[in-house]
């Protein structure tokens, strides 16, 4: 029979694995949100603004900022507090980084 110390160590190892897996899932979603914002900006630059856009840039920016925030929180849950390299690696725009946090409801959400 395993000792309590061994059981605790096994549980800690399993939790660490789950946090790491969650980091990967959040990273993929963050990359998607950043990609959607970049694609929107590139499309807008090529075609010019369109009045009938279904999704606004502000909404894409808010989503990207929220997913970057989730990613940073998940990294910190693993004990990783230095994020400079991540910002460079994912090419997170300063505009997104400075707005990190939960999305706020827009007039359409209320």
pLDDT band at 24 (very low <50, low <70, confident <90, very high): very high
At residue 104, the pLDDT reads 77
- pLDDT, averaged across the chain: 89
Rounded CA separation 62/76 (Å): 21
**55: three-class secondary structure by DSSP:** coil
Let me know: does 67 contact 29? Beta carbons within 8 Å.
Answer: yes
Residue 9 has pLDDT above 80, yes or no: yes
Residue 110 has pLDDT above 50, yes or no: no
CA distances from 71 to 15, 86, 88, 95 (A): 17, 10, 14, 16
Mean pLDDT of all residues in 75-87: 94
Mean pLDDT of all residues in 91-110: 82
The answer, as to whether pTM is greater than 0.85, is: no
- Give the residue with greater pLDDT, 109 vs 55: 55
Residue 48 has pLDDT above 50, yes or no: yes
The candidate with the shortest Cα–Cα distance to 37, out of 57, 54, 19, is: 57
At residue 6, the pLDDT reads 87
Mean pLDDT of all residues in 15-24: 92
Residue 107 has pLDDT above 70, yes or no: no
């Amino acid at each position: 029979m395993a000792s309590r110390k061994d059981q605790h160590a096994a549980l800690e190892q399993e939790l660490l694995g789950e946090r790491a897996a969650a980091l990967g899932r959040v990273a993929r979603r963050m990359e998607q949100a950043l990609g959607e914002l970049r694609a929107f900006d590139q499309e807008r630059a090529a075609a010019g603004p369109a009045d009938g856009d279904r999704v606004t840039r502000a909404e894409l920016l808010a989503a990207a900022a929220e997913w970057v925030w989730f990613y940073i929180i998940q990294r910190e849950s693993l004990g990783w507090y230095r994020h400079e390299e991540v910002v460079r690696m994912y090419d997170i725009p300063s505009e997104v980084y400075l707005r990190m946090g939960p999305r706020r409801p827009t007039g359409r959400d209320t």
